Structure 1
Amino acid sequence: MADVGRKSTLDYSVGQEVDDRAYAAMLARTRALIPQLRDRAARTEEIRRLPPETERDLHEAGLFRVVQPKRVGGSEFDYVALVDCAELLGKGDASVAWNFANLASHHWMLAMFDKRAQDLVWDKDPNTLVASSFIFPAGRARKVEGGFRLHGSWPFSSGVASSEWNMLGSVVDSDDEADGIEYRIFLVPKKDYRILDTWNAAGLRGTGSNDVEVRDAFVAESLTVSVSDLAGGPTPGSAINPNPLYTLPVFSLFPYVLSGVALGNAQACLDDYVEIAHHRASTYNRAKLGDLQSTQIKIAEASAKIDAARLIMRSNCIEAMAAARRGQIPDMAVKTRLRRDGAYSVNLCTEAVSLLFAASGARGLFTSGALQRQFRDAHAINSHIAFNFDAAGTNYGRVALGLPSENVTL
């Protein structure tokens, strides 16, 4: 059944300063994957990572490289591509969409590193995947000649089994308290970290978001970037990647790397509910569910939440790109609004799924159906710190009241 109450997701040209035909073709390739992703969803959960054939499909469609620089063969689409493609993949399987969004965004971030880091990864293979964990307190680094010594254990490194590198966030220790705390990201090759098989989760089971451990590894300075260099404006990689895409504030827009996953998962849940309600009769009185006013109201409420979430996500990404093209660096009020909206829009998606799950009755409990997975995935997505509205809302309120931001990554 077609998506309820809106146009096809193919109509995504607004704000996209790239070849609209190329973008439409990318979305068409992405949409074509939905049926097989749904078919593989149970197996993806069972093996707790992307199946090799799914990973291959994403590579062949060019999805991992949607925001990678053109100079190395990437598509270099606008930032909103992460939301749009994740939404479509999320309609098939949220775990697949989650890994796509994470791994694709790391090509975008790598373009902001020193050229030597980019060359080291992409000269060997521009399709190389890079995982991450930006839990900065999980690591400790100290400055040494030529670079840093890094040590720590990081959770939630999604897609790590498929990746040859990892971007790990760490606090840099300093002997001088006047220097303050520095947050820095370290690009670490697979040989320098150990993967710990810890990912046994209720939702997003197929993401393989295992822990990684580093024991006193040397990381050359050229393979690191300070979080302060990613706050908006020119970055160490701007000299060779001049597209404003690579001047966006990374952690202000961080929620939108993953928010499309929640959107696609919620839209799939709604589409499935409408399809079932259209044909199914009540178990107890044989009344057609689609004729019940309560069913109609649930469809209206859930679709309104999902459409509102989509509008928030896409408009913020499009506006951020437009500002970057004008050379504008967002102030703290804008940055905290972006974080607020990112959390709020995903919360709307979670509310929509929860509403539909409750309305589905006992039939939604069967593991043979998609609804229970969509419900589990929705709440797993919402548990990410980027979507914690209490945290994002508090920081937005602080800044609105003239108090300093408590989010040190902004």
Structure 2
Amino acid sequence: MAGNGRRPDASTPAGPGADTYVAMVARAEALIPKLRERASKTEDLRRLPPETERDLHDAGLFRIVQPKRVGGSELDYVALVDCADALGRADASAAWNFANLASHHWMLGMFDRHAQDAVWSKDADALIASSFIFAAGRATKVEGGYRLNGHWPFSSGVESCEWNMLASVVSSEDEAEGVEYRIFLLNKSDYKINDTWNATGLRGTGSNDVRVVDAFVAHRMTIAVGDLTGGPTPGSSVNPNALYALPVFSLFPYVLSGVGLGNAQACLDDYVEIARHRASTYNRTKVGDMQSTQIKIAEASAKIDAARLIMRTNCLEAMADARRGHVPNIAAKTRLRRDGAFSVNLCTDAVSLLFTASGARSLFTSGALQRQFRDAHAVNSHLAFNFDAAGTNYGRVALGLPSENLTL
């Protein structure tokens, strides 16, 4: 495997859960062959096949960052990167839905215990979808909670979920109160799913729209974005692990960045394997003997290895900060967002480089390369990986200007 794609042992989280951590990553890696075999079926279905969801459940992967008190593994945050990296080497759509849905167990651990119990006391395996597009919703304060309306796109894996976390702006008659961003936890009985997901990349994620019309959401089933900026949260009383004191939206890119990483690693591994045996159709020269091939392997692997180092280092350092009760300042938070976007852009660049180097072979729909190329660019299209947005905000803060990202 070029670049190995494996974490150095020294960077594996230490402590009482280390064995579980290694076991969970190994379980993700063990699924690679069968998920890769199903990748075309996943695209045709436009959602994960039931057997893939069952495999992820049976492996315990959806619950890697769920609190131990309800049977989760409560692994360090970097587990999302490492497990998505492994699954992404099989199928980016499967990795995307795994990472999305697993991360919502982590976020629910920060809600009021009432919200946690509403979900986990009934079914600790219940899946939770999301759409964190605040402008898509409008909430109004009423006695005991809120009235919520909105139409949210890109709710990945929603067909399989019992619950959904939907982000909204809270309206106020008094403009002096300012804008409030809040996340609302709704049961599937409170929203309608619109089947809209017909996409060129990440085709198997089932990232459909959801619509809410005048739903009442009790206050305890919501959480303010201001409670998710780092430090104690409403859920800290029952989930004291530093995992649930991380700044959510500062680290948001790393929920999904491992998908782009694994997809790029698979693309590189496939390219190397083919180059070892393939002869040029033009002059029958062995492709692996060409200097241009060797240079492209070096460049792509350097980009992927650099991306992995950035992603994992930031996640490990964030956990270390949280354990010592340190909340990063706005400069550090914008750097996390900058690095999250930059590292995924590196992965996309690597895939594009290898796609171009593969010539006409890359055009065949029967091969994995065209899917890896489409998926790489689909991952990169997520706002969290838009370097112009992340870079602009980082530059503003570096220059002493206020951050434009109100969720940090």
* TM-score bin, normalised by smaller chain: over 0.9
Report the counterpart of residue 335 of structure 1 in structure 2. Answer: 333
Kindly provide the amino acid, as one letter, of the partner of residue 14 in structure 1: T
Report the counterpart of residue 357 of structure 1 in structure 2. Answer: 355
Report the counterpart of residue 97 of structure 1 in structure 2. Answer: 95
CA contact (8 A) 1:16 1:77 kept: no
Kindly provide the amino acid, as one letter, of the partner of residue 337 in structure 1: R
Report the counterpart of residue 122 of structure 1 in structure 2. Answer: 120
In the TM superposition, residue 13 of structure 1 has moved relative to its aligned partner by: 5.0
Counting only pairs closer than 5 Å after superposition, residues 366-377 of structure 1 correspond to structure 2 as 366-377=364-375
Kindly provide the amino acid, as one letter, of the partner of residue 171 in structure 2: D
1: CA distance, partners of 2:221 / 2:180 = 16
CA deviation vs aligned residue, 1:248-299 (integer Å, no higher than 9, x gap): 0000000000000000000000000000000000001000000000000000
In the TM superposition, residue 10 of structure 1 has moved relative to its aligned partner by: 7.7
1: CA distance, partners of 2:169 / 2:19 = 43
Q: 1:204 aligns with which of 182, 202, 205?
A: 202
Kindly provide the amino acid, as one letter, of the partner of residue 88 in structure 2: G
CA deviation vs aligned residue, 1:199-218 (integer Å, no higher than 9, x gap): 00000000000000000000
CA deviation vs aligned residue, 1:322-379 (integer Å, no higher than 9, x gap): 0000100110000000000000000000000000000000001101000000000000
2: CA distance, partners of 1:407 / 1:317 = 20
Report the counterpart of residue 35 of structure 2 in structure 1. Answer: 37
In the TM superposition, residue 27 of structure 1 has moved relative to its aligned partner by: 1.3
Report the counterpart of residue 26 of structure 2 in structure 1. Answer: 28
Q: 1:63 aligns with which of 52, 61, 64?
A: 61
Report the counterpart of residue 384 of structure 1 in structure 2. Answer: 382
CA deviation vs aligned residue, 1:229-251 (integer Å, no higher than 9, x gap): 00000000000000010000000
2: CA distance, partners of 1:117 / 1:182 = 20
Report the counterpart of residue 106 of structure 2 in structure 1. Answer: 108
CA contact (8 A) 2:272 2:297 kept: yes
In the TM superposition, residue 5 of structure 1 has moved relative to its aligned partner by: 3.1
2: CA distance, partners of 1:389 / 1:94 = 21
Q: 1:80 aligns with which of 78, 98, 101?
A: 78
Structure 1 residues 366 and 272: alpha-carbon distance in aligned structure 2, compared to 1, 3 A threshold: same
Q: 1:307 aligns with which of 300, 305, 308?
A: 305
CA deviation vs aligned residue, 1:146-182 (integer Å, no higher than 9, x gap): 0000000000000000100000000000011111000
In the TM superposition, residue 12 of structure 1 has moved relative to its aligned partner by: 7.0
Report the counterpart of residue 407 of structure 2 in structure 1. Answer: 409
Structure 1 residues 203 and 161: alpha-carbon distance in aligned structure 2, compared to 1, 3 A threshold: same
Report the counterpart of residue 231 of structure 1 in structure 2. Answer: 229
Report the counterpart of residue 181 of structure 1 in structure 2. Answer: 179
Report the counterpart of residue 160 of structure 2 in structure 1. Answer: 162
CA deviation vs aligned residue, 1:15-50 (integer Å, no higher than 9, x gap): 443432211111111111001111000000000001
User: When the two structures are superposed, what TM-score results if normalisation uses the length of structure 2?
Assistant: 0.99
Aligned residues: 408
2: CA distance, partners of 1:320 / 1:23 = 17
User: When the two structures are superposed, what TM-score results if normalisation uses the length of structure 1?
Assistant: 0.98
In the TM superposition, residue 11 of structure 1 has moved relative to its aligned partner by: 3.6
CA contact (8 A) 1:111 1:237 kept: yes
Q: 1:281 aligns with which of 279, 282, 292?
A: 279
Kindly provide the amino acid, as one letter, of the partner of residue 279 in structure 2: A
CA contact (8 A) 2:5 2:265 kept: no
CA deviation vs aligned residue, 1:360-405 (integer Å, no higher than 9, x gap): 0000110100000000000000000000000000000000000000
CA contact (8 A) 2:120 2:126 kept: yes
CA contact (8 A) 1:10 1:28 kept: no
2: CA distance, partners of 1:183 / 1:23 = 34
Structure 1 residues 83 and 41: alpha-carbon distance in aligned structure 2, compared to 1, 3 A threshold: same
Q: Which runs of 5+ in 2 are unaligned?
A: none
CA contact (8 A) 2:147 2:214 kept: yes
SS of 1:167's partner is strand
1: CA distance, partners of 2:358 / 2:279 = 12
Q: Does 1:398 align with 2:396?
A: yes
Between stretches 130-139 and 7-16, larger displacement belongs to: 7-16
1: CA distance, partners of 2:153 / 2:371 = 23
2: CA distance, partners of 1:8 / 1:263 = 11
1: CA distance, partners of 2:311 / 2:390 = 15
SS of 1:341's partner is helix
In the TM superposition, residue 14 of structure 1 has moved relative to its aligned partner by: 3.0
Q: Does 1:244 align with 2:266?
A: no
SS of 1:218's partner is strand
2: CA distance, partners of 1:121 / 1:14 = 31
Identity across matched positions, percent: 77
Report the counterpart of residue 222 of structure 1 in structure 2. Answer: 220
Q: Does 1:138 align with 2:129?
A: no
1: CA distance, partners of 2:5 / 2:157 = 32
In the TM superposition, residue 52 of structure 1 has moved relative to its aligned partner by: 0.2
In the TM superposition, residue 7 of structure 1 has moved relative to its aligned partner by: 6.6
Kindly provide the amino acid, as one letter, of the partner of residue 173 in structure 2: D
Kindly provide the amino acid, as one letter, of the partner of residue 366 in structure 1: F
Structure 1 residues 7 and 381: alpha-carbon distance in aligned structure 2, compared to 1, 3 A threshold: closer
CA deviation vs aligned residue, 1:38-86 (integer Å, no higher than 9, x gap): 1000000000001000000000000000000000000000000000000
CA contact (8 A) 1:141 1:172 kept: yes
